[in-house]
Chain A
């Protein structure tokens, strides 16, 4: 795999940009997709947001200072894009973010790209009840199996805070699944 620093330099160079961008997309598309999908739930929306994320990355690569890892930077853009997407859609439909997310989960039953059984559907319903931060941390830790250190850089939160959020999220989800 190409070194990150070289990739960033290539992305900023006019002659190597196109090729470097392709490498970038190939390296990160799946990971970013699953991060976005865990927030917007629906495949078509995830596809839209993923494309917009890469377009933003492409346009703003000159502004990438290298203070954080390219991976964390892109993950942060993807997360913000997905969260903004949800907020905009909710506003457009004149409902609160929470109500909109409940709708998203109830749409899963008819979604051809969701092949979950009853328990998996219940799990998504449980995740939808969590506060935004806990939801993000749970998805990133549990499904994407990111390390706390990585999540910490992406969400700009201390590792201790993340562990507490994750622990709380798990407790709430277990409680939800037990009650239902």
Chain B
């Protein structure tokens, strides 16, 4: 026996097709707690005078006057496109993958300056390699050795604090 025919129950025609709509209709009838009037009002004669105010605004909109004719623009655009295609093709044939070393130092500096990483100086010190790093790497102008000695004389009471291992 065909399984489909086992079920003796039938539904009215298109019952399932129209079910959703009926359900929604019923749902909407239970919405008595929601007021239908949104209570928003407009000033008197707002819609009647709208056209005028729109026209005024349209008249004050800056008009764009083309500086060049369309033909000239098309010609210029075509030549730019041709140059761009040639240039891109040239680059593609010699293209090497960009690496971190290709970044300009100024770009890296600008990136760090403009983005807040919320890193403390200790955290930065942890990731920066100390070997082969000189004080001069961090300074924009070199320190004069006389000034350095003066500074140490004035500010350091005990030279042992400096932990200088190799006193030459």
Contact = CB atoms under 8 A, between A and B. Distances in A.
Interface in B2-50: 20, 24, 27-28, 31, 33-43, 46-47, 50
B61 A55 contact: yes
Contacts of A64: none
B20 A114 contact: no
B54 interface: yes
Interface in B114-153: none
B19 to A, nearest CB: 11
B69 interface: no
Given A38-B38, A119-B35, A177-B34, A43 B54 contact: no
Given A163-B24, A170-B27, A33 B54 contact: no
B107 to A, nearest CB: 28
Contact of B33 (A51, A143, A167, A178): A178
Interface in B54-77: 54, 57-58, 61
Contacts of A34: 40
B43 A43 contact: yes
A50 B34 contact: no
Interface stretch (A3-11, A21-29, A70-78, A82-90): A21-29
B35 A123 contact: yes
A25 B39 contact: no
Interface in A113-137: 113-117, 119-121, 123-124
Nearest to B58: A55
A123 to B, nearest CB: 6
B70 to A, nearest CB: 14
B53 interface: yes
A34 B69 CA distance: 42
B53 A113 contact: no
A113 B42 contact: yes
Contacts of B58: 55, 58
A125 B51 CA distance: 32
B41 A163 contact: no
A178 B58 CA distance: 47
Contacts of B37: 116, 120
Nearest to B64: A59
A120 B39 CA distance: 7
Contacts of B40: 34, 37-38, 41, 43, 113-114, 116
Contact of B38 (A25, A29, A58, A143): A143
B20 A116 contact: no
Contacts of A37: 40
Contacts of A119: 33, 35
A29 B47 contact: yes
Return the 6 tightest CB-CB contacts between A and B, nearest first.
A116-B39, A120-B39, A113-B41, A143-B38, A177-B33, A51-B57
